[in-house]
Amino acid sequence: MLDNNNKNLYHYYYKFSIINISDITELHYNFIKSTNIINYDNQSNEIIVISNENAIKKVLIDRLPSNFSDLNIVFGLFLHENGFNIKLVKSFKNNNKKNNIHYSNILKWVDGKEYLLDTKIGLMFNCFNPLEITNNNNNNNNNNNNNNNNNNNNNNNNNNNNNNNKLFHNRIRKINSNTFSYDEIINNKNNTFMTIYHFSNRRVKINNKIFSKL
């Protein structure tokens, strides 16, 4: 469990009530804002060996710069500790299952819908929004789960991107029964989506455990 010092880091969350899926966006945003993130793509060519304990120590205790997988693990553990149905899953850049491994979260909401939660995705397009996972092969997430706050955020993002003559969109696409892809698009003549990574909806265990306790 978190000691008192580490609980102070999450004083905000202990007072926070989650009623709608859009509340996860605010929680995710404030979690990232309170951490020290490494601003690079951690889906490198090296195989990353991680554990729940190492991620907790790195992110919460030592407050070290942390990669996206570490942040996703800790955020998933926090949601799990607070009673949410969350599972850690693997994703693979360019569908390469030997390396380039990245860890993401899938949240099952009270209505049975599943959402991808990932600090890394959509870095150019509101990465804090949960992205709904459906069986539709062409699922655009712009945006099924938006509320007014998210619309305002997206409008701000769109305005900024329009200044750069670019408009970013994202989607989740089903590949087969267990595999999905996360895609992004830059508004150009062809409006072509580019796959950022593939991910499985199968639960991952770390240290032979689904989740350890915070």
Mean pLDDT of 131-136: 78
Beta strands in the chain (DSSP E): 85-92, 101-108, 114-117, 131-133, 139-140, 168-174, 179-186, 193-200
Please report whether residue 17 resides in a domain. Answer: yes
Q: Identify whether the C-beta of residue 214 lies closer than 8 Å to the C-beta of residue 190.
A: no
Query: Highest mean pLDDT: which of 10-24, 52-66, 92-106, 180-194?
Result: 52-66
Q: How high is the pLDDT of residue 10?
A: 43
Domain-embedded: residue 194: no
CB 107 within 8 A of CB 145: no
At 112 the pLDDT is 92
> What pLDDT is stored for residue 41 in this prediction?
46
CATH number at residue 104: 3.30.2140.20
**pLDDT bracket for residue 189 (50, 70, 90):** low
Up-side HSE of residue 26: CA atoms within 13 Å toward CB? 15
Q: Which domain holds residue 88?
A: 4-134
Q: How many domains does the chain have?
A: 1
Flag whether pLDDT at 169 surpasses 80.
no
Is 66 within a domain? yes
Q: Is the pLDDT of residue 98 over 60?
A: no
Question: Per-residue DSSP letters for 68-98?
Answer: HHHHHHHHHHHHHHTT-EEEEEEEEGGG-SS
- Please indicate whether residue 204 or residue 13 has the higher confidence score (pLDDT): 204
Residue 108's SS3 state is: strand
Tokens of 160: 């900024």
CB 177 within 8 A of CB 191: no
Q: What is the pTM of this model?
A: 0.69
The mean predicted confidence, pLDDT, of the chain is 70
pLDDT class of 82 with cuts at 50, 70, 90 = confident
Tell me if 190 is assigned to some domain: no
Do 25 and 128 contact (CB within 8 A), yes or no?
Answer: yes
pLDDT value at position 92?
77
Task: Categorize the per-residue pLDDT at 186 as very low, low, confident or very high, splitting at 50, 70 and 90.
Answer: low
- 166 in any annotated domain: no
| The predicted structure's pLDDT at residue 107 | 93
100: in domain: yes
| Bridge partners, 102 (sequence order) | 91
The model's confidence at residue 161, banded by pLDDT at 50, 70 and 90, is: very low
**Do the Cβ atoms of 191 and 181 come closer than 8 Å?**
no
Token pair 């509101």: residue? 126
Mean local confidence (pLDDT), 94-109: 74
Residue 50 lies in a domain: yes
Residue 15 lies in a domain: yes
Higher pLDDT, 62 or 123: 62
